[in-house]
Structure 1
Amino acid sequence: MVCLSKGAKDECNIVEVVGRNYHNEEIAVPVANLKLSCQPSLSLNGFQLHLPVTFRLRSGSGPVHLSGLHQIFDRRDLLDDELSEEDEDFSEEDEGELSPVKPAKKKKQSLSLAPPKDL
């Protein structure tokens, strides 16, 4: 979450994220344009960063506050959780409620494998 704080002026406050690209060059990307009268805060829900990064107030006088949650996941843990949830969704009780699969009906067709007769 990015938000203006008490004492902020009614001006554009542009917040950018500064990081490095794959050539190890500094790159800055604006992520928020805050103004007290129309957009004093912005949720960056789902915004993922690859550390290290720096938040910088590119324009405006602020003050701007940042808050967030830093989570680290092990992919193996995520896979185990997904598999266990699927197992919970399909239990033995569910098996009894399912109707049995019926074999497909065969249609009788007369196919002749003999070569065509000459007229």
Structure 2
Amino acid sequence: MQNFYTLIVVVQVLSALTIILLVLLQHGKGADMGASFGSGASGSLFGATGSSNFLSKSTGIAAAIFFGATLALTFLSSNRTPSVGVMDNLSAVKTAPAAASAAATTAAPASAVGQSGQIPK
């Protein structure tokens, strides 16, 4: 089960990186404004914004994979057995040294205190 969870996390991270890369490779809608006013051919029947190209279709597929992986991770996380958290381990470590140091201070021998009331070095 842990291997499947790790595989889904890897798929999600790779799809997120793919989405970032594909979005950065695409040009914005503002770049097509010149084509619609005659400074270049728009290259499609419905104008500059009417059709989608390979990059936008690939971005949609990567987004669908990302959302599918996110839903799968949510489903797997909700069905996992509860484990001991980091904070639970931290509170157990904090109480043990505190109890040990309290016992050490109360068990100081009375002979260690000099006649002047000071502890010798």
Q: Would you call these one fold, judging by a TM-score over 0.5?
A: no
Question: Which structure has the larger Rg over C-alpha atoms?
Answer: 2
Larger fraction in helix: 2
Larger proportion of strand: 1
**For this structure pair, what is the TM-score category when the shorter chain's length is used for normalisation?**
under 0.3
